[in-house]
Structure 1
Amino acid sequence: MPKLITLTEPRSAAAEALRALRTNLMFSSVEKPITTLLVTSCAQSEDKSTLLANLAVTFAQSGNKTILVDSDLRRPMQHDIWGVPNERGLTTMLLEDAAMSSPPLAQTEIPNLALLPSGPLPPIPADVFSSQRMNDVIGVLRARAHYILFDSPPVLAASDAALLGSKVDGVLLVIRAGQTRRDQAAR
């Protein structure tokens, strides 16, 4: 299981850097605050899911209701990070009307932080994100929390991040020092 450094080492430089990132995101735009954020990377193995799990903890610790959505419908990781089942989740909300009125959120041990796992994986994930129903899901989640944070597949691997990125207030691209090539990040 990846390390949630914001919990295990809250006074570390890494945990402090995550809190600084959270603060910068919270106050980055006065006219249009970022309340929905997509986190992606250029390629796999850049630890975007672990970074996002830690970032979600910092948002929740600031006293704001936060929902972490595993919208990586190709290689979901958040249910493993948090140790929750993945039978129901985002895809359930996209398919079942009942799940829209009662979203299958998993409460974490962190006050103010809930997880919406990916749920069963669809055959063509990109179709999910271009649908009107995805807009509806985002609206339902906005009514339940102040911040909605989306974990997305890598941007160079699939169009999912670009499609979902057009529906949120901001996008954070995670790059790994010494691994992510400059030309990849520029794309």
Structure 2
Amino acid sequence: MRYKRIILLVLFLAALLGLLEWSGMRANFNAEYIHRLLEENLWRGLAIYIVLFCIGNLLHIPGWIFLAAAVLALGKVWGGMVTYVAATLSCVITYFVIRLIGGDFLHEIRNRYARRILQILDSHPVTCISSLRVVFQTMPTINYALALSGVGFRPYLLGTLIGLPLPITLYCLFFDYLARVLHWQ
């Protein structure tokens, strides 16, 4: 069956979402909870923050929620550094999970536009991935597409490491500014 891997991927994500809903963990995917967690116990909070970021990325929860919470709890410098590490780990875990289940499914697509995009990605993977990270950061759809594209892990990681610092820095400055203007704690 041609779409077996994609069906398995959808079933896996549905099961993960169902497990989070059933366990009550889904309610923890908000900036207030993460902020409180980081303030109460830094090391435990950081570990849970990274786990939530990784699960959130798999389930298409926007990364800015995690970044905002980290900036508000830890400040723009430490919040940005923690987010950079968590975002990178999140992208790596998403890559391996999606690749394990979905393989390089996008190479089976016969559409000429899709084939052309994959050729560009294959010829300049680090440049393409770092550019995508600058524009879309840790957007789960991009992570899924890159994992399913067949791009190797090394260029995926390198492009991610190169592309994430700029948008994370800009978001940190933005959330820090908002916190000061709106007098958030």
Q: What TM-score do the two structures reach when normalised by structure 1?
A: 0.33
Bigger Rg over Cα? 2
Structure showing the higher helix proportion among its residues: 2
Greater per-residue strand proportion:
1
User: Does 1 or 2 have the higher relative contact order (CA < 8 Å, sep 6+)?
Assistant: 1
